[in-house]
A = this chain, B = another copy of it.
Amino acid sequence: MTAPREAILEFLSTSSKHMSAKEIYTSLQKKYPGIGLSTVYRTLNLLARMGIVTKLLLGDGQSRYEFKSKGKSGHHHHLICTNCGIIIDYREFFEEELQLVRKTEEKLAKKYKFMIQDHNIEYLGLCEKCKLKY
């Protein structure tokens, strides 16, 4: 664990959600000037491979990252507005989801000899504001 890595991890674990690499880079310049954009990308990929952060592909042309907090209270998925790109986290239906996911994982792991490590659920649509325009 080096200084830049700690800075990035600390920033992600305390900041608001869904930050792009550029946003993280810019935000860190204030507190840790001199940190390079390459390092930000490298570290984010490293943390994602380690399962410490989640890399989100939300369709706005850049990857976004969020700290993966443990346990039921941290577990969530996303509503994504296809018009303006706003992201809403929701935490409902944890138990029902878990039930389906467990069942699915068990069956699919066997059938396809696939080792499932993670899952994503997302809902696409129009947010309150964008609904009015269409």
Contact = CB atoms under 8 A, between A and B. Distances in A.
A118 B124 contact: yes
B131 A79 contact: no
A59 B49 CA distance: 13
Contact of A97 (B55, B100, B113): B100
Interface string A80-111: 01100000101011001100100111011001
B88 A104 contact: no
A119 interface: yes
Interface string A10-41: 00000000000000000000000000000000
A117 B114 CA distance: 30
B108 A104 contact: no
Contact of A113 (B90, B92, B114, B128): B128
A120 B117 contact: no
Given A59-B55, A92-B108, A124 B128 contact: no
A128 B114 contact: yes
A6 interface: no
B120 A122 contact: yes
Contact of A117 (B57, B90, B124): B124
